Structure 1
Amino acid sequence: MSKYLVDKFLYTVDRDPELVERYREDPRGTVAWWEAERANVILNCHGAESSSWLRFEESERDALSTHDYPALFDLGAHPFLTLTLFIAMFERDHPPLGFQREYARRLSDRTLPYPDIAT
């Protein structure tokens, strides 16, 4: 798994309100677009520098494409990146702190040690 690439997706989408809405409404299309157009752009790099080898594994693509944050957690995605993006997308559908409670409930069956979140 490329924890770096999954975390990069979560980080970059979370910082762009238009991408947050796009990802909420069309997760599969947004993941496919981002992988093709943005995955290989070097973060914090000015100019046209990019790499050419980064791709999601099928399990990562599936979890991202279905908003499956428990699966992303199990794959080692950084929980703070996952939580902040999914709050931005789904907090409006819940009462105050409702999404955070739902997030915690859906991850409550996980036990230590958690997946390594180092990249």
Structure 2
Amino acid sequence: MSKYLVNKFLYTVDRDPDLVERYREDPRGTVEWWEDQEAGRILNCHNGEASTWLRFEDAERAALAGHDYPALFELGAHPFLTLTLFIAMFERDYDEPLGFQKEYARRLSHFSLPYPDYAT
């Protein structure tokens, strides 16, 4: 798994309100665009470089495109990055305070220690 690339996607999308909305509305398109156009630029690669570490693995791409944060957690994405981005995207859909955070915790509750390694 290219944890660094997944985490870089989560981090860069979360820092741009327009990208947050784009990812919320068109996750698959945003993931494909970012992988094709932004990954190399953001990681300061030379034009034309085509290394496998600049591509998501199929499971990563599917989890990102499906907003599947439990799968991202299982794959080793940093939990703080997934939580902050998905709060930005989905907190507004809940009526109760901390509604999304509670849903996040519920959907990850089946994990027990030791948690997946999210070191990059």
| TM-score interval, smaller chain | over 0.9
Quote how far apart the aligned CAs of 1:59 are.
0.2
* In structure 1, C-alpha distance between the alignment counterparts of 2:115 and 2:81, rounded to whole Å: 15
- Residue matched to 1:21: 21
For 2:14, the aligned partner's letter is D
Q: What's the % identity of the aligned pairs?
A: 77
> Once superposed, which parts of structure 1, at least 4 consecutive aligned residues long, lie more than 4 Å away?
none
Alignment: residue pair count: 114
The answer for the alignment partner of 1:112 in structure 2 is 113
Pairing 1:35–2:35 present: yes
Residue of structure 2 equivalent to 1:46: none
Does residue 62 of structure 2 align to residue 62 of structure 1?
yes
User: Would you tell me which structure has more helix in proportion to its own residues?
Assistant: 2
Equivalent position of 1:98 in the other structure: 99
> Counterparts of 1:8 and 1:116 in 2: how far apart (Å)?
16
Distance in 2, matches of 1:84 and 1:22, equals: 16
- For normalisation by structure 1, the TM-score amounts to 0.92
3-state DSSP class of the match of 1:41? Answer: helix
Cα deviation, residue 117, structure 1 = 1.1
Query: 2 CA distance for matches of 1:118 and 1:103?
Result: 21
Q: TM-score normalised to the size of structure 2?
A: 0.92
The C-alpha deviation readout for 1:32-91, integer Å capped at 9, x for no partner, is: 000001111245xxxxx4253210000000000000000000000000000000000000
- RMSD over aligned Cα atoms: 1.0
In 2, distance between residues paired with 1:11 and 1:103?
Answer: 18
